[in-house]
Amino acid sequence: MKIRFASLLTLAFLIALPVFSQHGEPHGAGTPRANQGHIPPPPPARTDRRAAPEVEHHDAKRMNSTPHVNNDHWYGHEKANDARFHMDHPFEHGRFEHFGPSFRYNVTRFDRDHHRFWFPGGFGFEIAAWDWPLCADWCWDCGDDFVVYEDTDHVGWYMLYNVHTGVYVHVNYLGT
C-alpha cells in the first residue's frame, strides 16, 4: 500500500513539475524575449522618404514583412510619405517626452473598443487603425512590456514596441 501511494505521489509530482517551472516569473516580467533579449536603440530616420518598407529575409523561401525589430534593425516601417500618417495638427495634445529605450512601461488601463491605452500618470495613446490587427492579441496587462519611440519618419506619431514579441505599432499621443 505504501509503495503504491508513493508511486502515485511521485507520478503526480513529475506530471506537475513542468507546470510549476513555467510560473517562476509572471508573464511579461523580466528580460525581454525579442531582439535577442534587449531593448533596441531608437529607429534611424530614413534618408529616402519614398523607400519601401524593408522586409526581413530568413532564407530563400521565408520572409517577415511585419513591423518588428530584430538584431536592433527596424523592419517593415512604412514609407515616410505614406498619406495615412498625415496629421493636420501634429502633437495636438502635446508631446510625450518619456520615450526611448530607457523608459519601459506597463499599461494601467486599456479600452479595446476604441484601441486606446494609458500608462501610469495618465498618459494616453490611441493605436493607429491600420496597426490594430498587429496588436489586438497582445497581453496589455502583463507587466512592463512596452517602450515608446518617437517616429522619426512620421511627424506627430510614436511607435509602441512590445519587448516580448518584437513587434511595434504606431500610436498617437492623447495627452494626460
79 has a pLDDT exceeding 80: yes
Q: What is the mean pLDDT of residues 98-123?
A: 97
pLDDT at residue number 1: 55
Q: CA 32 from chain center: how many Å?
A: 10
How many domains, the chain?
1
Distance in Å from the first CA to the final CA of the chain: 66
Mean pLDDT of the chain: 86
8 or 2: whose pLDDT is higher? 2
What Cα–Cα distance (Å) separates residue 20 from each residue in 24, 26, 44, 67? 7, 12, 42, 34
| Residue 64, in any domain of the structure | yes
Is the residue at 155 inside a domain? yes
CA distance 32 to 139: 14
pLDDT score, position 49: 83
pLDDT band at 17 (very low <50, low <70, confident <90, very high): very low
Question: What is the rounded average pLDDT of the residues 64-79?
Answer: 95
- Domain containing residue 141: 32-175
Among 7-21, 90-104, 126-140, the range scoring the smallest mean pLDDT is 7-21
The answer to whether 121 and 176 have CB atoms below 8 angstroms apart is yes
Tell whether the torsion through CA atoms of 78, 162, 93 and 102 is positive or negative. Answer: negative
Note whether residue 1 is domain-resident: no
Give backbone dihedrals phi and psi of 113, rounded to 5 degrees, phi first: -65, -35
Contact predicate 170/127, CB 8 Å? yes
Q: Is residue 7 part of a domain?
A: no
In the DSSP assignment, the letter for residue 55 is: -
**Does the pLDDT of residue 66 top 90, yes or no?**
yes
| Residue 5 belongs to a domain | no
For residue 27, is it within any domain? no
Domain-located, residue 18? no
Long-range contacts of 61-68 (CB under 8 A, 24+ apart): 66/134, 66/167, 67/131, 67/134, 67/167, 67/168, 67/169, 68/34, 68/165, 68/166, 68/167, 68/168
Domain annotation covers residue 21:
no
List residues bridging with 75 in a β-sheet: 68
- Can you give the pLDDT at residue 46? 86
